[in-house]
Amino acid sequence: MKATLCIDDAVGEQRRALLDPFGRPFRLEIERWSERGARAKLDETWWGRVTARLPGGGWFVDLGLAQAGVVEPSKAQAIVEGAMLPLRVKSEAWGSKGPVLSLADMSPSAPRPDEPGRHAPPADDPFLRGVKVVATLKEKSARQQIDAAVEEAGQRVVPITGGGDLAIDTARALTAIDVDGGDRTGSADIDAFRFDLNLAAAEEAARQISLRSIGGLVAIDFVGMQQRRHQKDVVAAFRTALAGWLGRSSQVLEMSELGVCEAAIARRSRPVTDLAPPEEREALDALREIESAGWAARGSRIRALLSQAARRWLEARPDLTTSLNDRIGARWTVEAEDRAPGRAKVWSAS
């Protein structure tokens, strides 16, 4: 798939997005400066020390990070407690769950380090797998595209091309996606109408799964279709779309008699819903908005109003202040108000 790569190197975090040939985002990645060196990223190789057996099989592994990694039971036969092992990151940490690891290929003669830590980056960039980058956007144009992608990824209800919408709800056990025809118009033949709606919904559901980095069990409640061949065609379209957007295949079951299609999607990268602490999120968003305001109003002073918690977080990190000064000059000030962390107010003043 051909794609446009958007890169936004904001103060405090780097964001990347991929856009399809129609300008629609389908992958999104956010890495905060505070996480650099403190998070095991997809397909990196790490040295880890085995610390304890999991109750249901498998092992906890110390990677030298805040969260322990986990080696799954099927990969744990030759592992013993206390061993230092080379490991590949199969799935990034998210929420309270640590990274999932597998044994990495490494020569037996390779020297073992004394302490756990990262050994090597991935051979290629997992974010770009399955795509051919035909253009790259940076600075203002990239920031606008990524802001729109972040906004879209946070919406519960999204439109379907041609009419109708998807409602996406993620719970602990699974992600449920409901298809609704809404005000969609089309064929007077009800079977043909529902078939066309579900084909478009399958494509949009796959893009949203990729954009939001949704993993685990997904259940899509398609609009009911009477013809079995239509059901099979919709499932096949969803399976193909998933492979295209994700750059890998997923297990997709045939549609049930109730019109529900279930899929097991390997969780690889961190979900975009796995946000930073609220005070950090507010401060980082404010820094980006201050910089954008500085681009738009060169020479003007920029003011920002943050929560007390967000300002304290920012004041404890002078490197961020220095970086922003280097970019737009020391022409911005931050004030605080007594409220819970949320959305900062940023404006330019003559």
On whether both 113 and 223 belong to a single domain, the answer is no
Residue 178 within a domain: yes
Cβ–Cβ under 8 Å, residues 156 and 178:
no
On whether both 35 and 137 belong to a single domain, the answer is yes
On whether both 2 and 141 belong to a single domain, the answer is yes
On whether both 325 and 253 belong to a single domain, the answer is no
- Residue 275, pLDDT score: 76
Domain hosting 135: range is: 1-43+124-146
CB neighbours (10 Å) of residue 155? 14
On whether both 169 and 240 belong to a single domain, the answer is yes
Run of H or E including 169: strand 165-170
How far apart, in whole angstroms, are the C-alpha atoms of residue 256 and residue 123?
40
Closest by CA to 226, choosing from 190, 260, 179, 261, is: 190
Residue 273 within a domain: no
How far apart, in whole angstroms, are the C-alpha atoms of residue 115 and residue 265?
33
On whether both 197 and 330 belong to a single domain, the answer is no
Kindly report the length of the chain.
Answer: 350
- The whole-angstrom distance between residue 88's C-alpha and the CA centroid of its chain comes to 19
Listed as ranges, residues in the chain with pLDDT below 70 are: 74-77, 350
Residue pLDDT, tens place only, 116-143: 999 999 999 999 999 999 999 999 999 9
We report the CATH number of the domain holding residue 240 as 3.40.630
Cβ–Cβ under 8 Å, residues 122 and 43:
yes
CB neighbours (10 Å) of residue 110? 10
On whether both 170 and 238 belong to a single domain, the answer is yes
How far apart, in whole angstroms, are the C-alpha atoms of residue 178 and residue 234?
15
On whether both 107 and 193 belong to a single domain, the answer is no
Residue 271 within a domain: no
On whether both 210 and 248 belong to a single domain, the answer is yes
Residue pLDDT, tens place only, 193-251: 999 999 999 999 999 999 999 999 999 999 999 899 999 999 999 999 999 999 999 99
Domain termination residue (choose one: 265, 291, 314): 265
Closest by CA to 45, choosing from 111, 109, 108, 119, is: 119
- Residue 74, pLDDT score: 67
- Residue 60, pLDDT score: 95
On whether both 139 and 51 belong to a single domain, the answer is no
On whether both 226 and 290 belong to a single domain, the answer is no
Residue 321 within a domain: yes
**Counted domains in the chain:** 4
On whether both 336 and 246 belong to a single domain, the answer is no
Cβ–Cβ under 8 Å, residues 328 and 299:
no
Tokens representing residue 225 in the block: 């279709």
